[in-house]
Amino acid sequence: MTMRKNSLTKRLATLLPGVFVLCGAQADEHKQTDATQIQVTQLAEGLANPWGMTFLPDGDMLITERAGDIRRYSFDNGLSKPLANVPEVDAVNQGGMLDVVLDPEFADNQTIYFCYAKAGDQGRSSAVSKATLKNNSLTNVETIFVAEPLVDNGFHFGCRLAFDRQQHLYVSLGDRNDYMDEAQNTDNHFGTVVRIHKDGSVPESNPFVDGDAPEIFTYGHRNVQGLTVHPQTGEIWAMEHGPRGGDEVNVLSKGNNYGWPVITYGIDYDGSVISDKTHQEGMEQPWVYWDPSIAPSGMAFYTGDAFKDWQGDLLVGSLKFTHLRRIDIKEGKPGEQHEYLRDNSARIRDVEVGPDGLIYLLTDAPDGKLLQLSPAK
Protein backbone atom coordinates (compact mmCIF):
# COMPACT_ATOMS: atom_id res chain seq x y z
CA MET A 1 0.00 0.00 0.00
CA THR A 2 1.10 3.59 -0.52
CA MET A 3 1.36 5.89 2.48
CA ARG A 4 1.76 9.61 1.86
CA LYS A 5 2.74 12.04 4.57
CA ASN A 6 0.56 15.11 4.31
CA SER A 7 2.24 18.19 2.76
CA LEU A 8 0.76 21.28 4.34
CA THR A 9 0.22 24.62 2.63
CA LYS A 10 -0.26 27.95 4.32
CA ARG A 11 -3.50 29.92 4.35
CA LEU A 12 -5.04 32.58 6.53
CA ALA A 13 -6.68 30.99 9.56
CA THR A 14 -10.43 31.29 9.14
CA LEU A 15 -11.40 29.60 12.40
CA LEU A 16 -12.52 31.88 15.20
CA PRO A 17 -10.89 31.12 18.56
CA GLY A 18 -13.14 30.83 21.57
CA VAL A 19 -16.28 29.83 19.67
CA PHE A 20 -17.98 26.52 20.45
CA VAL A 21 -20.06 25.24 17.56
CA LEU A 22 -23.02 22.88 17.60
CA CYS A 23 -24.27 21.19 14.45
CA GLY A 24 -22.61 23.81 12.23
CA ALA A 25 -24.10 26.85 13.96
CA GLN A 26 -22.52 29.19 16.49
CA ALA A 27 -23.47 28.20 20.01
CA ASP A 28 -23.82 30.14 23.21
CA GLU A 29 -20.64 30.26 25.29
CA HIS A 30 -20.38 27.34 27.69
CA LYS A 31 -20.91 27.93 31.40
CA GLN A 32 -18.63 27.07 34.29
CA THR A 33 -21.23 25.74 36.69
CA ASP A 34 -21.13 26.34 40.43
CA ALA A 35 -18.85 23.64 41.84
CA THR A 36 -20.94 23.51 45.03
CA GLN A 37 -23.47 21.38 43.11
CA ILE A 38 -21.04 18.46 43.16
CA GLN A 39 -19.24 16.58 45.91
CA VAL A 40 -15.87 15.11 44.85
CA THR A 41 -14.52 12.07 46.67
CA GLN A 42 -11.03 10.76 45.95
CA LEU A 43 -11.20 6.97 45.95
CA ALA A 44 -7.64 6.11 44.89
CA GLU A 45 -4.34 7.72 43.98
CA GLY A 46 -0.95 6.58 42.78
CA LEU A 47 -2.18 5.30 39.42
CA ALA A 48 0.41 5.59 36.62
CA ASN A 49 -1.40 7.61 33.92
CA PRO A 50 -4.69 5.71 34.19
CA TRP A 51 -6.49 5.51 30.85
CA GLY A 52 -9.60 3.34 30.90
CA MET A 53 -11.98 1.73 33.40
CA THR A 54 -14.99 -0.54 33.53
CA PHE A 55 -17.29 -1.81 36.28
CA LEU A 56 -17.52 -5.49 37.22
CA PRO A 57 -20.86 -7.03 38.22
CA ASP A 58 -19.79 -7.18 41.89
CA GLY A 59 -19.19 -3.39 41.92
CA ASP A 60 -15.41 -3.57 41.64
CA MET A 61 -13.66 -1.77 38.79
CA LEU A 62 -10.86 -2.61 36.39
CA ILE A 63 -8.51 0.31 35.68
CA THR A 64 -5.75 0.39 33.07
CA GLU A 65 -2.44 2.20 33.51
CA ARG A 66 -0.74 3.38 30.34
CA ALA A 67 2.63 2.08 31.50
CA GLY A 68 1.29 -1.44 31.02
CA ASP A 69 -0.77 -2.65 33.99
CA ILE A 70 -4.40 -3.42 34.76
CA ARG A 71 -5.52 -3.08 38.37
CA ARG A 72 -8.68 -3.91 40.26
CA TYR A 73 -10.35 -1.39 42.55
CA SER A 74 -12.60 -2.51 45.38
CA PHE A 75 -14.65 -0.09 47.48
CA ASP A 76 -13.79 -2.25 50.48
CA ASN A 77 -10.11 -2.97 49.83
CA GLY A 78 -8.90 -0.21 47.50
CA LEU A 79 -6.44 -0.81 44.66
CA SER A 80 -5.06 -4.27 44.01
CA LYS A 81 -1.57 -5.04 42.84
CA PRO A 82 -1.30 -5.20 39.02
CA LEU A 83 -3.13 -8.20 37.56
CA ALA A 84 -0.89 -11.14 36.73
CA ASN A 85 -0.29 -12.41 33.17
CA VAL A 86 -1.08 -9.13 31.40
CA PRO A 87 0.71 -9.23 28.00
CA GLU A 88 3.67 -6.96 27.36
CA VAL A 89 2.76 -3.56 25.96
CA ASP A 90 4.88 -1.01 24.10
CA ALA A 91 4.49 2.08 26.28
CA VAL A 92 5.98 4.71 23.98
CA ASN A 93 4.66 8.31 24.06
CA GLN A 94 0.85 7.98 23.77
CA GLY A 95 0.96 4.19 23.49
CA GLY A 96 0.62 1.64 26.25
CA MET A 97 -2.21 -0.18 28.01
CA LEU A 98 -5.28 1.82 27.04
CA ASP A 99 -8.97 0.85 27.17
CA VAL A 100 -10.74 -2.12 28.79
CA VAL A 101 -14.32 -3.45 28.53
CA LEU A 102 -16.26 -6.49 29.69
CA ASP A 103 -17.72 -9.14 27.43
CA PRO A 104 -21.53 -8.59 27.28
CA GLU A 105 -21.81 -12.12 28.73
CA PHE A 106 -19.17 -11.55 31.41
CA ALA A 107 -21.37 -13.04 34.13
CA ASP A 108 -21.14 -16.38 32.31
CA ASN A 109 -17.64 -16.30 30.80
CA GLN A 110 -15.58 -13.81 32.91
CA THR A 111 -14.02 -12.48 29.68
CA ILE A 112 -12.53 -9.01 29.32
CA TYR A 113 -11.15 -7.19 26.27
CA PHE A 114 -8.35 -4.62 26.30
CA CYS A 115 -6.67 -2.45 23.69
CA TYR A 116 -2.98 -1.60 23.85
CA ALA A 117 0.11 -0.69 21.82
CA LYS A 118 1.79 -3.89 20.65
CA ALA A 119 5.33 -4.01 19.26
CA GLY A 120 6.39 -5.88 16.13
CA ASP A 121 9.26 -6.06 13.66
CA GLN A 122 8.09 -2.96 11.76
CA GLY A 123 7.13 -0.75 14.70
CA ARG A 124 4.00 -0.86 16.82
CA SER A 125 0.25 -0.76 16.41
CA SER A 126 -3.04 -0.93 18.30
CA ALA A 127 -3.99 -4.46 19.30
CA VAL A 128 -6.96 -6.03 21.05
CA SER A 129 -6.67 -9.07 23.30
CA LYS A 130 -9.26 -11.03 25.23
CA ALA A 131 -8.69 -12.93 28.46
CA THR A 132 -10.47 -14.65 31.30
CA LEU A 133 -10.41 -12.72 34.59
CA LYS A 134 -9.90 -14.94 37.62
CA ASN A 135 -9.50 -13.03 40.86
CA ASN A 136 -6.44 -10.83 40.23
CA SER A 137 -5.02 -12.74 37.29
CA LEU A 138 -5.65 -13.22 33.56
CA THR A 139 -5.81 -16.61 31.87
CA ASN A 140 -6.51 -17.72 28.28
CA VAL A 141 -5.00 -14.51 26.90
CA GLU A 142 -5.55 -14.31 23.14
CA THR A 143 -4.82 -11.50 20.67
CA ILE A 144 -7.83 -11.18 18.36
CA PHE A 145 -6.96 -8.08 16.31
CA VAL A 146 -3.90 -6.04 15.33
CA ALA A 147 -4.29 -2.85 13.27
CA GLU A 148 -2.25 -2.76 10.07
CA PRO A 149 0.27 -1.57 9.15
CA LEU A 150 2.67 -1.23 12.06
CA VAL A 151 4.64 2.04 12.01
CA ASP A 152 7.55 3.37 14.03
CA ASN A 153 6.02 6.21 16.03
CA GLY A 154 4.17 6.53 19.32
CA PHE A 155 1.15 8.67 18.46
CA HIS A 156 -2.60 8.45 17.75
CA PHE A 157 -3.42 4.89 18.69
CA GLY A 158 -7.14 5.45 19.30
CA CYS A 159 -7.91 2.27 21.29
CA ARG A 160 -11.34 3.00 22.77
CA LEU A 161 -13.63 -0.04 22.89
CA ALA A 162 -17.41 -0.51 22.93
CA PHE A 163 -19.89 -3.35 22.40
CA ASP A 164 -23.19 -2.71 20.62
CA ARG A 165 -26.49 -4.45 21.33
CA GLN A 166 -25.67 -7.19 18.82
CA GLN A 167 -22.40 -7.90 20.67
CA HIS A 168 -20.19 -6.53 17.93
CA LEU A 169 -16.97 -5.04 19.29
CA TYR A 170 -15.98 -1.58 18.01
CA VAL A 171 -12.36 -0.45 18.20
CA SER A 172 -11.19 3.10 17.45
CA LEU A 173 -7.89 3.46 15.57
CA GLY A 174 -5.98 6.71 15.09
CA ASP A 175 -4.26 8.00 11.96
CA ARG A 176 -0.87 7.52 13.67
CA ASN A 177 -0.11 11.23 13.20
CA ASP A 178 2.37 11.01 10.31
CA TYR A 179 -0.08 9.28 7.99
CA MET A 180 -3.15 11.49 8.13
CA ASP A 181 -3.95 11.16 4.42
CA GLU A 182 -4.31 7.41 4.90
CA ALA A 183 -7.46 8.03 6.95
CA GLN A 184 -9.18 8.28 3.54
CA ASN A 185 -7.84 4.88 2.43
CA THR A 186 -10.05 1.92 3.29
CA ASP A 187 -7.29 -0.58 2.46
CA ASN A 188 -5.60 -0.07 5.86
CA HIS A 189 -6.71 0.67 9.41
CA PHE A 190 -5.38 4.23 9.82
CA GLY A 191 -8.04 6.66 11.07
CA THR A 192 -10.89 4.17 11.29
CA VAL A 193 -13.37 2.58 13.66
CA VAL A 194 -13.47 -1.16 13.09
CA ARG A 195 -16.20 -3.67 13.93
CA ILE A 196 -15.41 -7.29 14.74
CA HIS A 197 -16.97 -10.31 16.39
CA LYS A 198 -15.87 -11.32 19.88
CA ASP A 199 -13.39 -13.81 18.41
CA GLY A 200 -11.89 -11.20 16.07
CA SER A 201 -13.64 -12.46 12.93
CA VAL A 202 -15.30 -10.03 10.51
CA PRO A 203 -19.09 -9.55 10.39
CA GLU A 204 -20.39 -10.31 6.90
CA SER A 205 -22.42 -7.08 6.98
CA ASN A 206 -19.33 -4.85 7.32
CA PRO A 207 -19.25 -2.22 4.55
CA PHE A 208 -15.78 -3.04 3.18
CA VAL A 209 -15.85 -6.78 3.75
CA ASP A 210 -14.32 -7.50 0.32
CA GLY A 211 -11.41 -5.07 0.76
CA ASP A 212 -7.94 -5.33 2.26
CA ALA A 213 -9.19 -4.07 5.64
CA PRO A 214 -12.60 -5.76 5.98
CA GLU A 215 -12.90 -4.86 9.68
CA ILE A 216 -13.54 -1.16 8.89
CA PHE A 217 -16.93 0.22 9.93
CA THR A 218 -16.26 3.96 9.41
CA TYR A 219 -13.26 5.99 8.25
CA GLY A 220 -11.94 9.54 7.95
CA HIS A 221 -11.16 9.86 11.67
CA ARG A 222 -8.12 11.48 13.28
CA ASN A 223 -7.81 10.00 16.78
CA VAL A 224 -10.99 8.78 18.47
CA GLN A 225 -10.61 9.03 22.26
CA GLY A 226 -14.22 8.43 23.25
CA LEU A 227 -16.59 5.64 22.19
CA THR A 228 -19.98 4.83 23.67
CA VAL A 229 -23.42 3.48 22.83
CA HIS A 230 -26.51 5.69 22.97
CA PRO A 231 -28.78 4.21 25.69
CA GLN A 232 -31.99 4.69 23.69
CA THR A 233 -31.05 4.36 20.01
CA GLY A 234 -28.18 1.89 20.30
CA GLU A 235 -26.09 4.06 17.96
CA ILE A 236 -22.31 4.19 18.34
CA TRP A 237 -21.04 7.66 19.23
CA ALA A 238 -17.38 8.58 18.78
CA MET A 239 -15.38 11.56 19.97
CA GLU A 240 -12.06 12.47 18.40
CA HIS A 241 -9.19 14.89 18.84
CA GLY A 242 -8.82 17.49 16.12
CA PRO A 243 -5.52 19.30 15.63
CA ARG A 244 -5.63 22.97 16.76
CA GLY A 245 -9.40 23.27 16.77
CA GLY A 246 -11.86 20.79 15.35
CA ASP A 247 -12.41 18.27 18.13
CA GLU A 248 -15.56 16.38 17.15
CA VAL A 249 -18.39 14.17 18.36
CA ASN A 250 -19.83 12.00 15.60
CA VAL A 251 -22.75 9.58 15.40
CA LEU A 252 -21.39 6.63 13.43
CA SER A 253 -23.18 4.98 10.53
CA LYS A 254 -21.89 2.00 8.59
CA GLY A 255 -19.50 2.88 5.77
CA ASN A 256 -19.58 6.64 6.33
CA ASN A 257 -16.61 8.94 5.77
CA TYR A 258 -16.07 11.52 8.56
CA GLY A 259 -13.78 13.67 6.49
CA TRP A 260 -10.34 13.80 8.08
CA PRO A 261 -8.12 15.36 6.75
CA VAL A 262 -10.02 16.50 3.64
CA ILE A 263 -12.44 18.52 5.74
CA THR A 264 -11.69 19.85 9.21
CA TYR A 265 -12.52 22.74 11.53
CA GLY A 266 -8.93 22.84 12.76
CA ILE A 267 -5.49 23.94 11.64
CA ASP A 268 -2.13 22.35 12.37
CA TYR A 269 -0.28 23.04 15.62
CA ASP A 270 2.22 25.33 13.88
CA GLY A 271 -0.57 27.38 12.26
CA SER A 272 -0.29 25.63 8.90
CA VAL A 273 -3.45 24.88 6.98
CA ILE A 274 -4.47 21.25 6.75
CA SER A 275 -7.49 21.89 4.53
CA ASP A 276 -9.43 24.96 3.44
CA LYS A 277 -12.66 22.90 3.47
CA THR A 278 -15.08 22.25 6.27
CA HIS A 279 -17.72 20.55 4.08
CA GLN A 280 -17.62 18.19 1.14
CA GLU A 281 -20.22 15.99 -0.51
CA GLY A 282 -20.01 12.42 0.71
CA MET A 283 -18.40 13.39 4.01
CA GLU A 284 -20.26 13.64 7.32
CA GLN A 285 -20.59 16.72 9.50
CA PRO A 286 -19.95 16.34 13.25
CA TRP A 287 -22.81 16.33 15.73
CA VAL A 288 -20.76 18.88 17.67
CA TYR A 289 -17.27 20.34 17.34
CA TRP A 290 -15.08 22.57 19.46
CA ASP A 291 -12.78 25.44 18.54
CA PRO A 292 -10.54 25.94 20.42
CA SER A 293 -9.87 22.28 21.12
CA ILE A 294 -10.70 20.96 24.58
CA ALA A 295 -8.72 17.70 24.01
CA PRO A 296 -11.69 15.44 24.83
CA SER A 297 -11.13 11.97 26.25
CA GLY A 298 -13.67 9.59 27.67
CA MET A 299 -17.41 10.03 27.15
CA ALA A 300 -20.59 8.57 28.58
CA PHE A 301 -24.31 9.24 28.50
CA TYR A 302 -25.75 9.92 31.92
CA THR A 303 -28.40 7.30 32.72
CA GLY A 304 -28.48 7.28 36.52
CA ASP A 305 -30.85 8.73 39.10
CA ALA A 306 -28.42 10.62 41.32
CA PHE A 307 -28.29 13.68 39.00
CA LYS A 308 -31.92 13.68 37.89
CA ASP A 309 -31.68 16.79 35.72
CA TRP A 310 -28.83 15.26 33.71
CA GLN A 311 -30.75 12.27 32.35
CA GLY A 312 -29.71 11.58 28.75
CA ASP A 313 -27.00 14.26 28.68
CA LEU A 314 -23.51 13.59 27.32
CA LEU A 315 -20.54 13.68 29.70
CA VAL A 316 -17.10 14.44 28.26
CA GLY A 317 -13.68 14.69 29.89
CA SER A 318 -11.31 17.50 28.89
CA LEU A 319 -7.57 17.00 29.06
CA LYS A 320 -6.58 20.48 27.93
CA PHE A 321 -8.95 22.54 30.06
CA THR A 322 -9.05 20.09 33.00
CA HIS A 323 -12.78 19.76 33.48
CA LEU A 324 -15.80 17.52 33.12
CA ARG A 325 -18.17 18.87 30.48
CA ARG A 326 -21.88 18.13 30.27
CA ILE A 327 -23.82 18.73 27.05
CA ASP A 328 -27.58 19.11 27.35
CA ILE A 329 -29.34 17.01 24.71
CA LYS A 330 -32.74 18.18 23.56
CA GLU A 331 -34.58 16.05 21.00
CA GLY A 332 -31.31 14.52 19.89
CA LYS A 333 -29.54 17.85 19.39
CA PRO A 334 -26.81 19.47 21.49
CA GLY A 335 -27.80 22.34 23.73
CA GLU A 336 -26.06 24.28 26.45
CA GLN A 337 -22.67 23.06 27.69
CA HIS A 338 -21.60 23.11 31.34
CA GLU A 339 -18.16 22.80 32.95
CA TYR A 340 -17.36 21.18 36.30
CA LEU A 341 -14.14 20.76 38.31
CA ARG A 342 -11.96 23.04 36.22
CA ASP A 343 -10.41 24.47 39.39
CA ASN A 344 -9.11 21.00 40.26
CA SER A 345 -6.52 21.43 37.46
CA ALA A 346 -6.63 17.70 36.67
CA ARG A 347 -6.62 16.28 33.15
CA ILE A 348 -9.73 14.10 32.79
CA ARG A 349 -8.87 10.94 30.85
CA ASP A 350 -11.98 8.78 31.27
CA VAL A 351 -15.59 9.13 32.38
CA GLU A 352 -17.94 6.34 33.50
CA VAL A 353 -21.38 6.27 35.09
CA GLY A 354 -21.48 3.68 37.85
CA PRO A 355 -24.33 1.27 38.61
CA ASP A 356 -25.03 3.50 41.63
CA GLY A 357 -25.75 6.47 39.32
CA LEU A 358 -22.65 8.33 40.47
CA ILE A 359 -19.97 9.55 38.06
CA TYR A 360 -16.41 8.25 38.08
CA LEU A 361 -13.37 10.00 36.59
CA LEU A 362 -9.74 9.09 35.95
CA THR A 363 -7.16 11.87 36.03
CA ASP A 364 -4.22 11.60 33.64
CA ALA A 365 -0.97 12.04 35.59
CA PRO A 366 1.96 9.96 36.83
CA ASP A 367 0.13 10.08 40.16
CA GLY A 368 -3.34 9.65 38.66
CA LYS A 369 -6.51 9.48 40.70
CA LEU A 370 -9.89 7.80 40.69
CA LEU A 371 -12.59 10.33 41.61
CA GLN A 372 -16.26 9.85 42.46
CA LEU A 373 -18.79 12.63 41.82
CA SER A 374 -22.04 12.78 43.75
CA PRO A 375 -24.63 15.53 44.26
CA ALA A 376 -23.61 17.96 47.00
CA LYS A 377 -25.50 17.41 50.23
Please tell me the predicted confidence (pLDDT) of residue 32.
Answer: 57
The answer to whether 156 is a known catalytic residue is yes
Task: Please give the Cα distance from 369 to 53 (Å, whole number).
Answer: 12
Going from N- to C-terminal start, the domains of the chain cover: 32-375
Q: Give phi and psi for 109, each to the nearest 5.
A: -120, -5
H helices present in the chain, as ranges: 106-109
If DSSP codes are grouped into helix, strand and coil, which group holds residue 281?
coil
Please tell me the predicted confidence (pLDDT) of residue 109.
Answer: 98
Please tell me the predicted confidence (pLDDT) of residue 35.
Answer: 56
From residue 91, give the alpha-carbon distance in Å to each of 51, 115, 275, 298: 12, 12, 32, 20
Q: Residues 197, 200, 206, 211: what is their CA dihedral angle, to the nearest 10 degrees?
A: -170
Please tell me the predicted confidence (pLDDT) of residue 31.
Answer: 61
If DSSP codes are grouped into helix, strand and coil, which group holds residue 167?
coil
Separation of first and last alpha carbons in the chain: 59
If DSSP codes are grouped into helix, strand and coil, which group holds residue 231?
coil
Contact between 14 and 335 (Cβ < 8 Å):
no
For residue 57, say if its preceding peptide bond is cis, omega within 30 degrees of 0.
no
Please tell me the predicted confidence (pLDDT) of residue 36.
Answer: 61
Contact between 241 and 214 (Cβ < 8 Å):
no
Enumerate long-range contacts of 365-368, CB under 8 Å, 24 or more apart: 365/49, 366/48, 366/49, 367/45, 367/46, 367/47, 368/45, 368/46, 368/47, 368/48, 368/49, 368/50, 368/65
pLDDT along the chain (377 residues), means of 10: 37 33 41 72 98 97 98 97 97 97 98 98 96 97 98 98 98 98 98 98 98 98 98 98 97 98 96 97 98 96 96 98 97 96 95 98 98 95
Q: Which of 30, 156, 221, 338 is catalytic?
A: 156
Task: Please give the Cα distance from 273 to 6 (Å, whole number).
Answer: 11
Strands of 192-196's sheet in order across = 161-163, 169-173, 192-196, 216-219
For domain 32-375, give its CATH number from 3.40.30.10, 2.115.10.20, 2.60.120.560, 2.120.10.30.
Answer: 2.120.10.30
Task: Please give the Cα distance from 134 to 82 (Å, whole number).
Answer: 13
If DSSP codes are grouped into helix, strand and coil, which group holds residue 339?
strand
Pick from 72, 127, 120, 71: nearest CA to 96: 127
